[in-house]
Amino acid sequence: MRAAGTFIFEAKMKLPAGSVLYDEHLKLTNKSHIAEFAGYLMPLWFSSISAEHSAVRQQAGIFDCTHMGILETSGKNAEAFLNAITTNDVAALQVGSAQYSYILDAAGNVLDDIIIYRRGNNKFIVVVNAANEPKFNAYLDALLAGQAIVDLSKPRQLEFAKTRDMRDINSGSDCRVDIALQGPESVEVLGKIDRAVSKQAESLKSFTFFETKLVGIDCIISRTGYTGAKIGFEIFVHPESAAKMWNLLIEAGAVPCGLGARDSLRVEAGLPLYGHELDGPFNISPFEAGYGWAVKLTKEFFIGKATAEKTAKSYDMKVARIELPGEKGIRPVRQNDGMLINGIGTGFVLSSATAGNRQIALVYAIKEKIVEGTPVGVYYLARSESQKKMGKKENIDLGEKYDADINGKIVSRFEKF
Amino acid sequence: MVIKGLLYTKEHEWAKVEGDIATIGITDHAQEQLGEVTFVELPAVGREVVQKDEIGVVESTKAASDIFSPITGTVTEVNTKLKTSPEIINDDCYGQGWFCKIRITDKASLKNLLDAAQYEEYLKGL
């Protein structure tokens, strides 16, 4: 049984298409390193995941994020509309600033985590996960048609604002796709292209942006990203300028990186991925993910608020980060493996990655047991028929006893770089 | 890269048959797909295996892949170097990165395997 107000979305099957940078990727890497992700053919890695991971930590890397959904919401109702459909406070968002936020349905389920950029009083960009974009569009359509519940407690009308797909070059003249430049040398990379622009980028505070031109290409440059890098930018350009910008950044010294490093970097940093640390099989809420601050319960209304108010007071599991040995020859931990404290099942692995000589895993664990520095073990679930025959279990239960296969400790929720 | 003279499976293992001993490994295509190999689980020496039995696991930073025996026989030797340096599989999958050796007890099982030309053709169709 799903809770009342749950938005149900059935994804349509579609053939994967190359991102707008697909031809550029084929120049740089073997086709076997390209795989389908959220309906797009995307590079998993160019050289290797570990080399690209360290390039972002030590130099600068670029990522094809042109698959990310980019929507423009504009008009006099834009602020009120976004404020009603997202959890953070859009009214408090200044022009030139960006805000991390959530879209919930009326039942309080997380439909997506997003970033909203305010370009003007009545002009916003909403960046949504590639995998969730079709669902988000269907949700907007359902709200507009009055088919999705807005408020379970009383009838409520939304003030709708015009929303446009900025990646669609037929939607208007100002179109955008996202290329991310991340890592300590990002400013130097920009500086090789345009000194003045790099200076301006360097002065950006986290979650702010400016609009400029780089070698004649219209750009929105924002100090945002998904790698945990202290210095990193997302550069929004017209889809037809994406290949030029991509190559320009590579010529200026940025290392092309694939989805593999994008994932290992975000896991190391502690950043959530929708479907793993948000929503997903455990239906993880923003509070459990560690982002309660992005859900402003003081707002008069937003879709899903009633459930969010209850969740905020009542959750007993939380996302935590653990560190384990990760040298070559050590079996990697994987999603769903069991996290143990004193040999007792205490949580589940949500995501994991190798970062240098250590593995970092994000786990969903009993809230009161999460104390930084606490020794933990991980029980590897059976991954093959022969392991099952040898008695390895296919899932673990909280509170049951298991023998740890590898030992580590709980570390801070986020990594500081 | 496909090496002439070896036998192949559609699961991307190779076998090099010398007398009644077959050396087993994973193909270049398989290691390319896996990416950096970080862990290898080897079979026990002395284990009797039937063709297509699972004989081990190769794990990379992103995926875990079962290794199936291309032939029927008895495991006589395993490449213990892979335990501490699994990346050899990426560097030299047809040479230093061999997986195990199997004494063939059923020669008929060899007939089900692809030769280099057939395997190459199979890869083109993927």
A19 and A41 co-located in one domain: yes
Average pLDDT over chain A, rounded to an integer: 96
Within 8 A of A326 by CB-CB distance, chain B residues are: 38
Query: Do A216 and A351 lie in a common domain?
Result: no
> What does the alpha-carbon distance between residue A131 and residue A39 come to, in Å, rounded to a whole number?
8
Contact (Cβ atoms closer than 8 angstroms) between residue B50 and residue B43: no
Q: Which of A315, A339, A361 is the last residue of a domain?
A: A315
CATH number at residue A288: 3.30.1360.120
- Span between the terminal Cα atoms of chain B, in Å: 15
Last residue of a domain, one of A253, A282, A315: A315
- Tell me the per-residue pLDDT of B81-91, one tens digit each, with 9 for 90 and over: 999 999 999 99
Asked whether B57 and B66 are in contact (CB, 8 A), the reply is: yes
A73 and A200 inside one domain:
yes
Local confidence band at B96 (pLDDT 50, 70, 90 cut-offs): very high
Measure A231 CA to nearest chain B CA, in Å: 26
- Delimit the domains of chain B by residue range: 8-110
Chain A CB contacts of B38 under 8 Å are: 326, 328-330, 332, 354
Q: Say if CB A407 and CB A260 are below 8 A apart.
A: no
* Mutation choice for B interface testing from A328, A336, A352, A380 by most B CBs within 10 A: A328
A38-85 pLDDT tens trace = 999 999 999 999 999 999 999 999 999 999 999 999 999 999 999 999
The residues near A14 (Cβ < 8 Å, ≥ 6 apart) are A39
Please name the residues between 373 and 412 in chain A that touch chain B, using a CB distance below 8 Å: 383-386
In sequence order, what DSSP letters do the residues of A207-271 get, joined into one string?
TBEEEEEETTEEEEEES--SS--SSEEEEEE-GGGHHHHHHHHHHTTPEEE-HHHHHHHHHHHT-
- Helix residue spans in A20-92 (DSSP H): 22-28, 49-58, 78-85
Q: B38 vs A330: CB contact, 8 Å cut-off? A: yes
Q: Who contacts A339 (Cβ-Cβ below 8 Å, separation ≥6)?
A: A322, A345, A346, A347, A348, A349, A361, A363, A365, A376, A377, A378, A379
pLDDT for B89 equals 96
Q: Using CB atoms and an 8 Å cut-off, which of residues 21-50 of chain A contact chain B?
A: 30, 32-33, 44-45, 48-50
Contacts with A49 from chain B: Cβ below 8 Å: 35-36, 61-62
In this structure, are strands A232-237 and A110-120 parallel, antiparallel, or unpaired? unpaired
- Checking if the pLDDT of B61 tops 90, the result is no
Give the whole-angstrom CA distance, residue A241 versus residue A213: 12
- Per-residue confidence (pLDDT) for residue A1, from 0 to 100: 56
* Pairwise CA distance, residues A63 & A28, whole Å: 13
- List the one residue out of A37, A13, A11, A17 whose CA is nearest residue A239: A17
| A49:B35 CB<8 A | yes
Q: Pick from B54, B61, B86: which is nearest to A386 by CB?
A: B54
Which one, of B16, B80, B12, lies nearest residue B44 by Cα?
A: B80
Q: What is the token pair recorded at A69? A: 């959904």
The total of structural domains in chain A comes to 2
User: Same domain for A276 and A329?
Assistant: no
- A357 and A215 in one domain? no
Does the distance separating the beta carbons of B39 and A330 come in below 8 Å?
A: yes
Find, in chain A, the residue whose alpha carbon is nearest to that of B32. Answer: A32
At A339, which amino acid appears? Answer: M
Residues A284 and A350 in one domain: no
* CA dihedral sign of residues A211, A213, A217, A221: negative
Contact B32 A30 (CB under 8 A): yes
Owning domain of residue A389: 316-417
CB contact under 8 A, B59 and A331: yes
Residues of B within an 8 Å Cβ radius of A: 29, 32-33, 35-36, 38-41, 54, 57, 59, 61-62, 64, 66, 83-87
Tokens of A397: 């239960």
- What kind and span of H or E run contains B85? none
Residue contact B38–A354, C-beta within 8 A: yes
Let me know: does A52 contact A260? Beta carbons within 8 Å: yes
A332 & A239 share domain = no
* A153 touching chain B per CB within 8 A: no
Instruction: Give the span between the Cα atoms of A101 and A114, in whole angstroms.
Output: 5
With a cut of 50, list the residues of chain A below it in pLDDT.
none
- Residue A32: closest C-alpha in chain B: B33
Q: Same domain, yes or no, for A285 and A150?
A: yes
- What would the two tokens of residue A109 be? 């389920």
Q: Find tokens 């009797």 and name the residue.
A: B48
Question: Does residue A361 sit in the same domain as residue A260?
Answer: no
Looking at the structure, do residues A311 and A342 belong to the same domain, yes or no?
no
Alpha helices by DSSP H, listed for chain B, are 28-34, 81-84, 88-91, 116-124
Question: φ, ψ for residue A116 (rounded to 5)?
Answer: -105, 130
* Residue in B closest to A53 by C-alpha: B61
CATH number attached to the domain at B8-110: 2.40.50.100
Same domain, A308 and A330: no
Partners of B125 on chain A (C-beta within 8 Å) are none
Report the C-alpha gap between A199 and B117 in whole angstroms: 57
Q: Residue B16: beta bridge partners?
A: B23
What was the ipTM of the complex prediction? Answer: 0.79
Contacts of A334 in chain B (CB under 8 A): 64
Cα of B108 to nearest chain A Cα, Å: 25
Q: Which of A287, A315, A343 is the last residue of a domain?
A: A315
Rounded CA-CA distance B71/B30 in Å is 18
Task: Take residue A401 and report the two structure tokens written for it.
Answer: 């006893």
Nearest to B66 among A45, A326, A384 (CB): A384
**A396 and A248 in a common domain:** no
- pLDDT on residue A11: 82
Check residue A12 and give its pLDDT.
82
